[in-house]
Amino acid sequence: MRKIAWKKLLACTLISALALSTGGCSFWHQRVLGEGTQTIYRQDTEQTAISYAWWGNDARHQYTLTGIQVFEEKNPDIRVNHTYGVWDGYETRNQVFMKNHTNADVMQINYSWLHTYSPDGTGYYNLNYLTDVLDLSRYTEADLALGTVNGHLNAIPIAYNMSVFFYNKDVYDRYGLDIPETWDDLFQAAEQMSKDGIYPIGMVKKHLFLSLVAHFEQTTGRVLFTADGSYCGTAEDWVEILDFYKQLLEKKVIPRVEDFDATDFENGTTAGACCWASDATRYCAELSKSGVNVVIGNNIKEPGALRSGWYTKPATLYAISATTQHPKEAARFLNFLINDADMARLQGTEKGVPISERALDALKSSRQVDSLEYAAAQEIREMQDENAIMIPQLESSTVMDAFKNTADKYLYGKESLEACAAEINAQLQGNS
């Protein structure tokens, strides 16, 4: 026992001497990043802990966790605690965090949250105070305007987004049909495909609502919300929207949103999918890998449309908590997320084609722009002058739930068309 104790004492003495001679315990290791191997030398220091929260799928979680590790290796004085999950329920939890001021230091946020949680610009940290850390030199004024509220730069947009129509061209070719350009094209496709149990297009609740709004604006020239977000619709407007919604379902143009997910496009139950441009991989990757010819169609239009009806918006944004205790450290991490070449290569185009030219340059140098998202981004750029910037209320869960829950009463015969239209109108007037 005595010999073992002396050996332990000697080992500790040697370790202490080594630590004193090197000025502290340190280590180095190699990590493969992007196209090469980078040697990172790291010395233990007193760390500042910050937190980061995001939502997404498993692929996003995986590369983000790797990205956090890379950041910590490059910034040994900062530790990033993290929380993440899928979209369902994420906004509900965020409401609680924002109300209790317990939200993460750095957050992935939805565009509509700027209006919901920071209507006067004070709900998130003003990033204008952190430009000595944040490199925004490769962003345009128009880019930054998307995250600015009342003169306060609340958030940095990651990529642009809009509803995009993807089609299984092999299916359309089998029926001798061209890729749809108009609403009538979709109805005509449904006439042929429905006998085989195939829908021309499928979409989730948000894209259903945006599609109905697009048709309404194209056919009437009117809008439901003004540029400042004020509700300006009428009960008569909702009569038109509900009536068209019912036609889409009855004519088998779309399945009910409760019955649709990305796998329906993969397995051929639907011959198309309307989704965010940033969701291209989720909806289309497996089909493309199997040899199916997946193509992007133009946004559906009414002939002689009075308005485009479609909107462009930031895919998602990054913000810093208004109550963070470590704004500089949070800004360093945010800068890493938007500009770092290694992070860009890890993320690829999964969140859309990055607005940051530094990140985009990294993707181009590593040949990571040959993707469905990049093709969708080209479509967004072509439509940018024609489309309006998304009014946050159009993707507000409050607005969509008011519509969908009431619309179901009409679709299932529980209330009349006029009664449901009046109910939706009253709810939105009360929320405005």
Which residue, 260, 277, 413, is CA-closest to 354? 277
pLDDT in tens, 305-353: 999 999 999 989 999 999 999 999 999 999 999 999 999 999 998 888 8
Inform me whether the pLDDT recorded for 399 exceeds 70.
yes
- Highest mean predicted confidence (pLDDT) among 84-93, 341-350, 361-370: 341-350
Inform me whether the pLDDT recorded for 26 exceeds 50.
no
Give the chain as a 3 state SS string: CHHHHHHHHHHHHHHHHHHHHHCCCEEEEEEEECCEEEEEEEECCCCEEEEEEEECCHHHHHHHHHHHHHHHHHCCCEEEEEEEECCCCHHHHHHHHHHHCCCCCEEEECCHHHHHHCCCCCCECCHHHHCCCCCCCCCCHHHHHCCEECCEECEEECEEECEEEEEEHHHHHHCCCCCCCEHHHHHHHHHHHHHHCCECCECCHHHHHHHHHHHHHHHHCCCCECCCCCECCCHHHHHHHHHHHHHHHHCCCCCCHHHCCHHHHHCCCECEEEEEHHHHHHHHHHHHHCCCCEEEECCCECCCCCCCCCEEEECCEEEEECCCCCHHHHHHHHHHHHHCHHHHHHHCCCCCCECCHHHHHHHHHCCCCCCHHHHHHHHHHHHCCCCEECCHHHHCHHHHHHHHHHHHHHHCCCCCHHHHHHHHHHHHHHHC
The mean pLDDT value for 159-177 works out to 95
According to the model, what pLDDT value does residue 8 have?
A: 43
According to the model, what pLDDT value does residue 45 have?
A: 60
According to the model, what pLDDT value does residue 369 have?
A: 79
Asked which of 306-315, 361-370, 378-387, 402-411 is least confident by mean pLDDT, the reply is 378-387
Sign, CA torsion 137/139/142/143 = negative
The mean pLDDT value for 427-432 works out to 84
pLDDT in tens, 268-302: 999 999 999 888 888 998 898 899 999 999 999 99
> What domains can be seen in the chain, in order of their start residue?
46-160+314-373 (3.40.190.10), 163-309+396-431 (3.40.190.10)
Asked which of 43-57, 96-110, 141-155, 367-381 is least confident by mean pLDDT, the reply is 367-381
How long a stretch of residues is the chain? 432
State the chain's mean pLDDT as an integer. 87
> Exposure of 53 by Cβ count < 10 A (0-12 exposed, 13-18 middle, 19+ buried)?
buried
Asked which of 95-109, 193-207, 212-226, 308-322 is least confident by mean pLDDT, the reply is 95-109
According to the model, what pLDDT value does residue 9 have?
A: 41
Beta bridge partners of 313: 161
According to the model, what pLDDT value does residue 134 have?
A: 96
39 pLDDT tier (thresholds 50, 70, 90): very low
